[in-house]
Homo-oligomer: A and B are copies of this chain.
Amino acid sequence: MRRVLVLGTGMIGTSVALALRQVGIHVGLFDRDAHSVAEAVRMGAGAASRAADPPADLVIIATPPSTVAEVLRAAQDRGLGAVYTDVASTKARLVSDAELAGCDLSSFVPGHPLAGTELSGPRAARADLFAGRPWVLCPLPATRLEPVRVVTELITACGAEIRLLSPRTHDRFVAAVSHAPHVVSAALAARFADPDDHMLALVGRGLQDTTRIATSPPGLWCDILAHNAGAVAAELEAVARDLTAAAAALRGADRADGGALADLLARGNRGREHIVAAEPARWATHHFVASNSPVGTA
């Protein structure tokens, strides 16, 4: 892997480019927004791609989920590279979209680095964004071994850890870990869309932390959520059920008898213990069997 082409210079695409530049790889950059490319170039993420560039060893598609299939098809039609991957946070629908679009799936390795912040755009990019973070690959039955090897090299260069999951399992997990929490955080923040100043004066770290990811850009997130609609809807319905039951317990209980509310808080405590135990510091030493043999399942 000597030449990489990054299509889409948002926060994730530019961060991958910055990480690759640090290990001396030649990076070409493209985005339909020329200002975004210029900003990424200015940050040292690589050079703007040109029509005369030779084919890349790896093309990284870093555009919103709903656009990946068409971008992949166009890139393959033009022969922009030998191997293709993406970084979108949904996988099952994207893969079927790619199949329907007539893409060559033998050279495509669907991927998803689980990293990012509530910010967006090239200026939010960081070379170390993926260090110690999981990077899911969903190799398809049609995927050849060599493309998987090349993408593994990419992930290693970014300092991330490979996890292998099927597209459906990936989407279900990510709905719970990331997509639904974004919507819940937005619903909490939405209560302050038109706030009383005296109420705002009482805001503390609890509300600051629970609403941090409500800063995320709505356009991109509508796209992500619509691409993982069923799994996200199921998570949101489960949370709404718990909140409705807690509210009903409060309405009924002049004297708190516990019940649904106490049960919810206890389950919350238990879940939080698991979440704390999964903290980033542990990722570096906590490997799954699959982590070291990505090619084995391809």
Say which residue of B133, B207, B255, B276 sits within 8 Å of A181 (CB atoms).
B207
Copies per complex of this chain: 2
Of A30-38, A46-54, A219-227, which stretch is located at the interface? Answer: A219-227
Q: Does A271 contact B214, Cβ atoms closer than 8 Å? A: yes
Asked if A261 is at the interface (CB within 8 A of a chain B CB), the reply is yes
**Which residues does chain B contribute within 8 Å of A218, judged by CB atoms?**
262, 265-266, 268-269
Of A55-63, A140-148, A245-253, which stretch is located at the interface? Answer: A245-253
**Which residues does chain B contribute within 8 Å of A286, judged by CB atoms?**
201
Q: Does B243 contact A255, Cβ atoms closer than 8 Å? A: no
Q: Does A214 contact B268, Cβ atoms closer than 8 Å? A: yes
Say which residue of B169, B202, B214, B238 sits within 8 Å of A269 (CB atoms).
B214
Shortest C-beta distance, A193 to chain B (Å), equals: 4
Q: Does B233 contact A237, Cβ atoms closer than 8 Å? A: no
Q: Does A229 contact B206, Cβ atoms closer than 8 Å? A: no
CB closest chain-B residue, reference A218: B265
Q: Does A133 contact B199, Cβ atoms closer than 8 Å? A: no
**Which residues does chain B contribute within 8 Å of A191, judged by CB atoms?**
176, 180, 235, 238-239, 271
Asked if A274 is at the interface (CB within 8 A of a chain B CB), the reply is yes
Please, how many angstroms separate the alpha-carbon atoms of A237 and B248 in the complex? Answer: 9
With A187-B246, A235-B191 as known contacts, state yes or no: A202 contacts B174, CB within 8 Å: yes
Please, how many angstroms separate the alpha-carbon atoms of A183 and B232 in the complex? Answer: 20
With A226-B250, A233-B247 as known contacts, state yes or no: A239 contacts B271, CB within 8 Å: no
Asked if A178 is at the interface (CB within 8 A of a chain B CB), the reply is yes
**Cβ proximity bits A190-210 to B, threshold 8 Å, 1 near / 0 not:** 111111111111111111111
**Which residues does chain B contribute within 8 Å of A230, judged by CB atoms?**
250-251
Please, how many angstroms separate the alpha-carbon atoms of A37 and B82 in the complex? Answer: 70
Asked if A25 is at the interface (CB within 8 A of a chain B CB), the reply is no
Q: Does B268 contact A204, Cβ atoms closer than 8 Å? A: no
**Central interface residue in A180, A183, A216, A250, by most chain B CB within 10 Å:** A250
**Which residues does chain B contribute within 8 Å of A42, judged by CB atoms?**
none
Shortest C-beta distance, A242 to chain B (Å), equals: 4
With A183-B243, A206-B181, A213-B206 as known contacts, state yes or no: A195 contacts B271, CB within 8 Å: yes
- The 8 lowest CB-CB distance pairs between A and B, nearest first, are A186-B268, A226-B256, A192-B271, A189-B271, A218-B265, A190-B267, A229-B250, A214-B268
Interface residues of A (CB under 8 A from B): 66, 114-118, 133-134, 136, 163, 165, 169, 173-174, 176-178, 180-216, 218, 221-223, 225-226, 229-230, 232-240, 242-244, 246-248, 250-251, 253-256, 258, 261-262, 264-272, 274-280, 283, 286, 288
A206-B213, A240-B244 provided; 8 other pairs, C-beta below 8 A? A180-B191, A181-B206, A192-B275, A201-B288, A208-B275, A218-B265, A222-B262, A243-B243
